[in-house]
Amino acid sequence: MDPRSRGGKRRACCKYLSPAGTCLGPKYKRGAAGPVATLLRLSSGPSAPCAPRGGVGACAWLLTPFLCCRICVSWHCIVGQITRFHDPDSKGRQKSWCPGRCGWFRGNFQKQVFMYRLCFAILYSRPKSASNEHYFSIDNELEYENFYADFGPLNLAMVYRYCCKINKKLKSITMLRKKIIHFTGSDERKQANAAFLVGCYMVIYLGRTPEEAYRILIFGDTSYIPFRDAAYGSCNYYITLLDCFHAVKKAMQYGFLDFNTFNLDEYEHYEKAENGDFNWIIPDRFIAFCGPHARSRLESGYHQHSPETYIPYFKNHNVTTIIRLNKKMYDAKRFTDAGFDHHDLFFADGSTPTDTIVKEFLDICENAEGAIAVHCKAGLGRTGTLIACYIMKHYRMTAAETIAWVRICRPGSVIGPQQQFLVMKQASLWLEGDYFRQKLRGQENGQHRTSLSRLLSGVDDISINGVENRDKQEAEPYSDDDEMNGVTQGDRLRVLKSRRQSKAKAVPLTVILQSSVQSCKTSEPDASGSAGITHRTTRSASRKSSFKSPSVSRTKAVLR
């Protein structure tokens, strides 16, 4: 029986029936494309009508009862059991509610059905699945590897795995009659990460805007704790779920994120400390990696890699430029002899860069022929900060969005005062980016005017944020001597990451740090060079590598 009919008789305005069977009338006959309303069923407590069995908490149902066809401009009601609908990718494609069988409606039909079936719940006891409900949780499956008190957001590989899981469940033949309910427990940190994952799925696959995804997750009086940095001690800057959703949306918009080409095996292999500890922040443009040492070795469970470890991968992925932000722990000739450009832009561990360093970094990156690999000690704080400056200038992302994206790609990036530094730089970097793009457009059109040149030269002469970094020495927690002879923030973060990922026998943190300090003293005695000075040499031949590529093949799975 047609679900739009009652008692075997078709009503005159049947295609305007709500899921409850109420006639909506001709006023809904035409209108802007898209759903006329999003039905969000909210409940709490065991007696609520939509409370999961055995559960106590709140539940949000991602339901969209109406769909407007963009071609025939007619509203189509989604009514009846989910089994009445046919997957557009199956043989039932020809069965469409649209009288005109238009392609837009068929193409968006599955998306609407998925939103009808996918649910998110916060529960305080584990529910039991029923004949029409399937519950699952990822709280103990996709876990954030923290440095100190940081707890998220989860990295890009976990977002990919979650999306694979959801798509597999939604398309499973055995679950066609079931609602898919992702539930999380009482731990506030896991609640935030679970909400982050389901929100990313809504943005990436269901076409939700960041605001819509966030609004759906804030059901009832539900709230989520914000994410903090990986620094030791207190935190005075946070990023929210909404910042993360905006970051994911803009990453898709600018081509940073495409799960059709994302290589899960490569990401999970190379992000491990024993395999190089590096991540792409912008595909084919920026790599953030852990600082190389004079030679490769395993020192008390702490992985150290020589420059030759990275050379084959860098060559195969069109990396042409290396930028070092920490004191010398290897000879730059080992990269330049292999054909790379190498630059030194030192500033103290845990501190913020000067305006001169930021300007020099941006100039190097804007003139690089290929991709750029950037490192400090751990490849987190200083590295993430300068890459974030480039993203803010050239993609006009906010400081919070940029920090969120860099951390999704490489957890633990941008630490302590570096967060406020990026907030302070946002307006000026946006302005510089506007001038830069205007200059490029003028050159492409052959209409580059003298007035614009004078304006751009004036911008080059001023401080990047319009003011100098005052009292910089007071703000820097470490000195140059500390960088060479002591244990800095980068040492601690790098050791923590190496310890948690290594399969070797656990060694006390103090022993590893002492070994690290000794290796720093003996590896490269030359620590010359001041902040803001760039050393550049030419290219030559390559060296033999000790780097091992992943044994697994490239992931071919396409999420559709």
In the chain, where are the structural domains located? 29-225, 272-465+492-523
d(CA 516, CA 28): 69
Hey, what are 7's tokens? 């008692």
376 is catalytic: yes
Which letter, b or e, does each residue of 53-66 get, where b requires 16 or more Cβ atoms within 10 Å of its Cβ? eebebbbbbbbbbb
Report the amino acid identity of residue 9.
K
Instruction: Check if the beta carbon of residue 193 is closer than 8 Å to that of residue 151.
Output: yes
Is it true that 29-225 and 272-465+492-523 share their CATH fold?
Answer: yes
The dihedral through the CA atoms of 201, 207, 213, 216 has a sign that is negative
β-pairing, 75-77 vs 118-123, is: unpaired
Q: pLDDT tens across 144-200, in order?
A: 999 999 999 999 999 999 999 999 999 999 998 899 999 999 999 999 999 999 999
Q: Which CATH number does 272-465+492-523 carry? A: 3.90.190.10
Residues, the chain: 560
3 cis-preceded (ω within 30 degrees of 0):
no
Q: Of 10-14, 244-248, 376-380, which range is least confident? A: 10-14
Residue 320, pLDDT above cutoff 50 = yes
Q: pLDDT tens across 451-467, in order?
A: 444 444 544 444 444 43
Burial environment of residue 340 by CB neighbours within 10 A (0 to 12, 13 to 18, 19 or more)? buried
d(CA 155, CA 477): 28
Give the CB-side neighbour count of residue 510, counting CA atoms within 13 A. 0
**What's the Cα-to-Cα distance from 172 to each of 87, 167, 168, rounded to whole Å?**
11, 8, 6
Residue with the two structure tokens 């790609």:
409
**What's the Cα-to-Cα distance from 193 to each of 49, 153, 240, 342, 534, rounded to whole Å?**
27, 6, 11, 38, 41
d(CA 278, CA 375): 9
Catalytic residue among 163, 290, 376, 409: 376
β-pairing, 341-344 vs 319-324, is: parallel
pLDDT confidence bin for 413, thresholds 50/70/90 = very high
d(CA 52, CA 180): 12
Q: pLDDT tens across 98-108, in order?
A: 333 444 444 44
So what's the pLDDT on residue 385? 98
DSSP state of 129: -
Q: At what angle do helices 210-217 and 241-254 cross, to 10 degrees?
A: 150
d(CA 265, CA 390): 27
**What's the Cα-to-Cα distance from 318 to each of 314, 339, 448, rounded to whole Å?**
6, 11, 31
Task: From 122, 392, 413, 377, select the one nearest 239 (Cα to Cα).
Answer: 413
Q: Which CATH number does 29-225 carry? A: 3.90.190.10
Instruction: Check if the beta carbon of residue 38 is closer than 8 Å to that of residue 63.
Output: yes
Hey, what are 105's tokens? 């409606």
Residue 401, pLDDT above cutoff 70 = yes
β-pairing, 179-184 vs 118-123, is: parallel
So what's the pLDDT on residue 493? 66
What pTM was computed for the model? 0.69
pLDDT confidence bin for 496, thresholds 50/70/90 = low
pLDDT confidence bin for 498, thresholds 50/70/90 = low
Cα separation of the two ends of the chain: 31
Q: pLDDT tens across 345-368, in order?
A: 999 999 999 999 999 999 999 999
Report the amino acid identity of residue 282.
I
Region of residue 460 (phi > 0: left; psi between -120 and 50: alpha; otherwise: beta): alpha
DSSP state of 130: B
So what's the pLDDT on residue 100? 38
Q: pLDDT tens across 266-313, in order?
A: 999 999 999 999 999 999 999 999 999 999 988 766 789 999 999 999
**What's the Cα-to-Cα distance from 84 to each of 78, 87, 354, rounded to whole Å?**
10, 10, 63
The dihedral through the CA atoms of 169, 175, 176, 181 has a sign that is negative
